[in-house]
């Protein structure tokens, strides 16, 4: 059952929307300190699913941030706790909904375009999504909030803030060893901005 609902919140401008997205992701990750399996916030973000063998929670962070922003369109949002929603979480749809169900809000990467803070980045290979904190192209650095990681110190699934290389190649934008395929531009999602 696909349900389209108006956002529960509307933001007065794009800067406020982007700041709220970055803050939600920062809270979910506890900044660079990170959160691991068993942490109550980690369990809230993943809705307890990260106990499944082979599960990656990177998409859970993206959908958690959308829910925190007040986004409620269940054709895109994939959560059980989406305040009044009728469609339950569905396996295997986190990434595809962000990329293919968002219409013009998803931007395929090009050499002359850049994501902005709060946007949800789609990287590959292997496929991964994360939330952009900041991009410092001058110094070749990018900071993101990521779930679907592993904390070797406690041997548990984790989420945390990360910083890595950003580069503009001849054929692709690069985030660390991965290619930036595109991003979900939050300002293009219908209804989040009061226009």
pLDDT of residue 177: 95
Report the 3 state secondary structure along the chain.
Answer: CCCCCCCCCCECCHHHHHHHHHHHHHHHHCCCCCEECCCHHHHHHHCCHHHCCCCCCHHHHHHHHHHHCCCCCCCCCCCCCCCCCCCCCCCCCHHHHHHHCCHHHEEECCCCCCCCCCCEEEEECCCEEEEEEEEEHHHCEEEEEEEEEEECCCCEEEEEEEEEEEEECCCCEEECCEEEEEEECHHHCCCCECC
**pLDDT tens digit string along 51-79?**
888 889 999 999 999 999 999 999 999 99
User: With a cut of 70, which residues of the chain have pLDDT below it?
Assistant: 1-4, 84
Domain boundaries, the chain: 14-188
Per-residue pLDDT, 1: 45
| pLDDT value at residue 3 | 57
pLDDT at res. 18? 98
């Amino acid at each position: 059952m696909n349900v389209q609902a108006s956002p529960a919140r509307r933001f007065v401008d794009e800067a406020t929307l982007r700041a709220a997205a970055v803050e939600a992701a920062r809270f979910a990750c506890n900044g660079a300190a990170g959160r691991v399996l068993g942490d109550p916030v980690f369990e809230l973000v993943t809705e307890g699913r990260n106990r499944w063998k082979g599960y990656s929670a990177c998409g859970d962070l993206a959908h958690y941030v959308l829910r925190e922003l007040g986004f409620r369109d269940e054709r895109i949002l994939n959560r059980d706790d989406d305040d009044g929603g009728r469609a339950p979480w569905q396996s295997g749809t986190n990434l595809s909904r962000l990329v293919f169900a968002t219409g013009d809000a998803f931007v395929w990467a090009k050499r002359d375009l850049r994501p902005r803070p709060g946007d949800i980045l789609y990287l590959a290979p292997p496929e991964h999504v994360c939330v952009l904190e900041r991009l410092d192209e001058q110094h070749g650095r990018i900071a993101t909030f990521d779930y679907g990681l592993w904390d070797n110190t406690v041997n548990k699934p984790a989420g945390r803030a990360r910083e890595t290389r950003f580069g503009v190649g001849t054929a692709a934008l690069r985030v660390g060893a991965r290619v930036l395929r595109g991003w979900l531009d939050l300002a293009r999602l219908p209804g989040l901005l009061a226009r």
